[in-house]
Structure 1
């Protein structure tokens, strides 16, 4: 496989693996859940999943990581700018995906709070 194709393939696999991260949070409630809780939780999780994992911030993080990785790879004694760029892109995308996961978790928790549930975390 051509090295130039490895980074997009790895990025796709990484983001696919993270597709539901954050949305599957199990919230901690202050008190007993109401009868409506499970229905609201499913709706809030669905809302969080609808947020794109491959957003502008994730792509920007991947691009910045690729740039930094390329520069560091070129500066290395082996001079592997392409390898550095690929590693940097994957690292940046992973950081962006992690942030997207945190955002999804916050969406679920805030959605439940908005529906009247006493969510602690």
Structure 2
């Protein structure tokens, strides 16, 4: 399979695996949860899922990774620019997806706080 076909497939698989990342956080409460907690947690998780994984920041990270990887692949005696670009794009996309996951987790926790739950983490 050619590297040009492998990169989009790997990127799609990577982002597909990250679909729920950040939304399944189990918050630590200061005190016992009230009767409304599970409903609020579900609503906050849904809100966090609406945050796209493949956003502009993730795409920018993938593009920067591809550029750096391509340059390093060209400079390396045994490497090639295309292979380096593919690896760099995947690494950049993974970093961007990780950042989006952190954002989603923050959304869940802040949403619960906003609904009156005392969330420690």
TM-score (norm 1): 0.99
Structure 2 match to 1:110: 110
Gaps of 5+ in 2: none
Cα root mean square deviation, aligned: 0.6
Distance 1:5 1:107 in 2: 35
User: Counterpart of 2:86 in 1: which secondary structure?
Assistant: helix
| CA deviation profile, 1:54-109 (whole Å, cap 9, x unmatched) | 00000000000000000000000024100000000000000000000000000000
Post-superposition, which runs of at least 4 consecutive aligned residues in structure 1 deviate over 3 A? Answer: none
User: Counterpart of 2:51 in 1: which secondary structure?
Assistant: coil
Gaps of 5+ in 1: none
Greater mean deviation of Cα atoms: 76-85 or 20-29: 76-85
- The count of residues paired between Structure 1 and Structure 2 equals 121
TM-score (norm 2): 0.99
**In the TM superposition, what are the counterparts of 1:37-76 in structure 2 within 5 Å?**
37-76=37-76
Distance 2:110 2:84 in 1: 39
